[in-house]
Structure 1
Amino acid sequence: MQGKLVRLRAYEKSDADALFRWFADAEVTRWLGPPNFPSRAQQEKFIELAAAGGDDAKYFAIETLDSRLIGDTGIRFIDWKSRKAEFFITIGEKHCWDKGFGSDALRIVIRLAFDRMNLNRLWLSVLADNARAVRCYEKCGFVREGLLRQESFVDGKYRDVHLMGLLREDYERTRGA
């Protein structure tokens, strides 16, 4: 699946080094909630599980159109009865932040969720003070639906978390815009 700046593809075994590097970087993981620095072996195991697929999650590597791996994204906790799933994304290559890669990847996942998977709702949680991410999500149509006060402990203090959602009807209304 391809957008204007990035394409989404299945993980490859060779991606484990980059995943390990990203998730061991405190600046990258700061916005992802509690620190989790899995080993390279754990990253390899994750890639195997992602490749095996499953009915409750879809995982993708994000690469630039010139085939440079820069992040990962997907949807998880897919609830087929209620037709909803949680969106997640990490742009692990910091020099790629604020360049539109995340928004482009998000738009691809949104199209996948609504046009191909027939979901009705995507949701996510984001630290309220992660202005870059909140701006990206709102630009792609997500709206703030709730606030979990002092939900995450980051950088030595409790931080609020926004719950955001995007409904199929909102996507369909703005798709042509």
Structure 2
Amino acid sequence: MIDATALAAKPVLEGDRIRLVPLAERHADAFHTTFQDPETRRLTGAHHHWTRAEIGAWIAECADRTDRLDLAIEDRESGAYLGDLALSRIDQDNAHGSLRIALVPAATGRGLGPEAIRLLLGHAFDRVRLHRVQLEVYSYNERARRAYERCGFALEGRLREALYWDGAWHDVLVMAALRPAGPAQ
């Protein structure tokens, strides 16, 4: 059904303004810095404060993982780190997985997130042959929700008060995109 070998082969995906490349040690400092930013932490719901050593150890494992795909988002011209995204929690029997994305603060609001998501969705649907990709977004992150909708994600449900952040409970919205209709694979 799906091509699980496509998760082991770490692609480079080229867009108009960005390039998705395998997450590597050269991205670790920028990755760590991104998750020290309070707004990034709020938008991603990241309670855990990862140390630079923990990030480095985790990134070192990414190249050998065959059950997920972790990619850095780089500026196509300069090679600057703009964020990362992952395709994980792959259910081979039901051909679906989960997507997560985080951008450096300077990269938000420029349409780079949707470009990265579309590149990854194309790979997930065409190469990995997933049928469905889902994500979770916090109810207070309207900008991300609109971007996901522009990429073909539809709201499927709400996990009421599933995130406790800054002294208040927030809903988690579940969204998914389906492989475009075409011949069955």
Same fold (TM over 0.5): yes
Number of residue pairs matched by the alignment: 169
8 A Cα contact 1:152 1:159, kept in partner: yes
| One-letter identity of the residue aligned with 1:126 | V
Give the share of equivalent positions with the same residue, in percent: 33
Higher helix share: 1
Secondary structure, in 3 states, of the residue corresponding to 1:52? coil
Match of 1:141 among 152, 159, 166: 152
Contact 1:145 1:165 in 2 (8 A): yes
Among 77, 84, 92, the alignment partner of 1:72 is 84
Match of 2:115 among 98, 104, 113: 104
TM-score, normalised via structure 1 length? 0.92
Whole-angstrom CA distance in 1 between matches of 2:29 and 2:150 = 31
Residue by residue over 1:103-153, the C-alpha shift from the partner in whole angstroms, topping out at 9 and shown as x without a partner, is 000000100000000100000010011011101100000000001111101
Amino acid of the residue matched to residue 145 of structure 1? E
User: Residue in 2 aligned with 1:44?
Assistant: 56
Q: Which amino acid aligns with 2:21?
A: R
Structure 1 CA distance for aligned equivalents of residues 24 and 174 of structure 2: 31
Matched, 1:130 2:136: no
User: What letter is aligned with 1:21?
Assistant: T
Equivalent residue in structure 2 for 1:2, among 8, 14, 29: 14
CA distance in 1: counterparts of 2:106 and 2:46, whole angstroms: 23
| TM-score calculated relative to the size of structure 2 | 0.88
Which residues of structure 2 form unaligned runs of 5+? Answer: 1-12
Deviates more, 1:33-42 or 1:68-77: 33-42
C-alpha RMSD of matched pairs (Å): 1.1
Unpaired runs of at least 5, structure 1? none
**Which runs of at least 4 in structure 1 moved beyond 2 Å after TM superposition?**
none
